[in-house]
Amino acid sequence: MSKRYEIATFGGGCFWYMVKPFISHQGIKCVTVGYTGGCTKNPRHEEVCSGITGHIEVVQVIFDPELLSYEILLELFWQHIDPTDSNGQFTDRGSAFKPAIFCHSEHQRRLAYNSKVRLNNSGIFSKPIVAEILDAGQFYPAEESHQDFYKRQPEQYQRYYIDSGRQHFLEKHWNLVYSS
């Protein structure tokens, strides 16, 4: 395994539901939930969710590019969000939950842009792809109570995953079947 890890950062609504799609893949060192994109230093969850900080809930993925490409991470990202909704994801509404790709290099920006164009041209969605592609900035890990939520609160995770509409959307558009 190489020692040269890279960082990928994605906003896809409630960050609890963006960990599991990434964590099980070979080449992933860790996935941390947190906040980025705003102006407040060391924001707290309540502040971010209120929209006053300008931050977005995100997952930061540390990965080995020799084992898992950034292009695969982009595919996983697209397949776990509604890329046509700029005002949140599923029942999580507001700027803190909008879909975004935060690029850590020009190479990531180019790959993200190309993947967005391909998805927009694919015909999978009848509305345009509106997820933003932004420069990565300061990342603030979320409070410990939000890390690994799917493991610590599996029943609540599953219930919200279904009740939020995320499960139905992913099944309809990506043929992804939920597994707990």
Cite the active site residues: 14
C-alpha to C-alpha distance for 66 and 172, rounded to whole angstroms: 32
CA–CA distances in Å: residue 144 to residues 28, 31, 136, 152: 20, 13, 22, 11
Looking at residue 9, the DSSP 8-state letter turns out to be E
Task: With CA atoms as reference, report the closest residue to 10 among 21, 1, 2.
Answer: 21
Per-residue tokens: 151 = 């493991």
Among 139, 117, 142, 115, CA closest to 128: 117
**Alpha-helix residue ranges (DSSP H) falling in the chain:** 16-23, 45-50, 70-78, 106-121, 149-152, 154-163, 166-174
Sign of the four-CA dihedral 14, 62, 83, 24: negative
Contact, 36 vs 58, CB < 8 A?
Answer: yes
